[in-house]
Amino acid sequence: MKIGILGAGQLGRMLALAGYPLDLDFVFLDPAVEACAAPLGEHLHAEYTDDTTLAKFCAACDLATYEFENVPAAVAEFVAARVPLYPPPQALSAGQDRLGEKRLFDRLNIPVPRYMPVAAREALDVAAKNVGLPAVLKTRRMGYDGKGQAVLRQDGDLDAAWQRLAGQPLILEAFVAFERELSCIAVRGRDGDMAFYPVVENVHRDGILRTSVPQHDDPLQALAQDYTRRVAEHLDYVGVIAFEFFVADGQLYANEIAPRVHNSGHWTIEGAEVSQFENHLRAIAGLPLGSTALRGHCVMFNLIGQPPDDNDMARVPGLHIHHYGKTPKPQRKVGHATLTAESAVQLVRRRALIEPLIR
């Protein structure tokens, strides 16, 4: 079976690495000349909106998926009309507009921070009064790793934020004084069967995910699964989905969904019985889902910018290094490393060895 993947970044790369043992082949469509997944399959180099290449892409695969959520909706519809596309186009659209996403959570009775759409400078004043400060002004579309947003702490911050982000649809969201950031990673098969990984506690810095630690017996596991199931069933979802939450006063507040495999699930390659990447492929190919159980204790570190020397990292027991084949640049994810251990105490000791090396 040949799987078509829209996008050929590191997520596509890890999907292909997980798929080859399942006897799956891959074709990628990506406009980047040096897409890091390209060596692992056929690479069609073109814009996503190039209908001729899109038709060639569809003809070359048995079914399709995507590795990032900003695939244009018209492109998803084009592909879905020719080959099975998972997750379905409505799931892709749900995660592309932050306002529509928040309204979806409202309809499904999933708690969200206060929010208001902002279409003009005067509307920002109104939203700031109604939502309250501090708040976060965000672009409704695009934006990741802290891009496309500004924190408003006082009235004097509004003008500068508007000047930086104006010219595109915006949303103002109440700033959540969270105690923790959690993500729930789940997979749903074609038959509706679902499996959930342990919730993951995430730490961000400068808007970029730095560490992810899967939790053992977290008290919010069942609630996170319930909210994630509501979204997945509503969207008739197939594949891996990630749902990011803020924890405040012991309650979950929805942040956003990612209709794809997710950075906070990279630990599953070594830390779970079956990785998120293999389970995504199992789901879209119609295979039974694999076990999401933990193998032990672990933590995932993103490698940002210039990574540490491999010789230094390789000396740390239980460390698994993943490079993405990307040129190092400031604030760019160029790889990740997952540290595994048999016990919580052993993990703490090993973290003390690796953390001085990780920027």
Q: Residue 132 maps to which CATH number?
A: 3.30.1490.20
Place of tokens 């079914």: 63
E strand or H helix at 17: helix 10-19
Distance (Å) of CA 101 to CA 55, 157, 172, 240, 249: 30, 26, 13, 18, 23
Residue 145, pLDDT above cutoff 70: no
Encoded tokens for 240: 């891996």
Q: Determine the average pLDDT of the residues in 88-92.
A: 93
Burial of 70 from C-beta contacts in 10 A (0-12 / 13-18 / 19+): middle
Q: Kindly report, residue by residue over 9-52, the tens digit of the pLDDT.
A: 999 999 999 999 999 999 999 999 889 999 999 999 999 999 99
pLDDT of residue 167: 78
Q: Kindly report, residue by residue over 254-273, the tens digit of the pLDDT.
A: 999 999 999 999 999 999 99
In a domain, 258, yes or no: yes
Q: What's the DSSP call for residue 352?
A: H
> In terms of domains, do 80 and 127 share one?
no
In a domain, 98, yes or no: no
> In terms of domains, do 123 and 53 share one?
no
CB 43 within 8 A of CB 17: no
In a domain, 95, yes or no: no
Average pLDDT score over the chain: 95
> In terms of domains, do 190 and 246 share one?
yes
Residue 226, pLDDT above cutoff 90: yes
Share of the chain above pLDDT 90, in %: 86
Distance (Å) of CA 36 to CA 50, 197, 290: 21, 27, 27
In a domain, 341, yes or no: yes
Q: Determine the average pLDDT of the residues in 146-158.
A: 84
Total domain count for the chain?
Answer: 3
> In terms of domains, do 226 and 304 share one?
yes
In a domain, 99, yes or no: no
> In terms of domains, do 145 and 237 share one?
no
Share of the chain above pLDDT 70, in %: 99
Task: Give the least confident one: 8-12, 139-143, 311-315.
Answer: 139-143
pLDDT of residue 148: 80
In a domain, 120, yes or no: yes
pLDDT of residue 146: 56
> In terms of domains, do 234 and 161 share one?
no
Task: State the residue range of the domain holding 157.
Answer: 114-174
Angle between helices 73-80 and 51-60 (to 10 degrees): 40
> In terms of domains, do 228 and 329 share one?
yes
Q: Kindly report, residue by residue over 98-117, the tens digit of the pLDDT.
A: 999 999 999 999 999 999 99
Q: What is the pTM of this model?
A: 0.94
In a domain, 81, yes or no: yes
In a domain, 311, yes or no: yes
Q: Kindly report, residue by residue over 157-206, the tens digit of the pLDDT.
A: 889 898 888 878 999 999 999 999 999 999 999 999 999 999 999 999 98
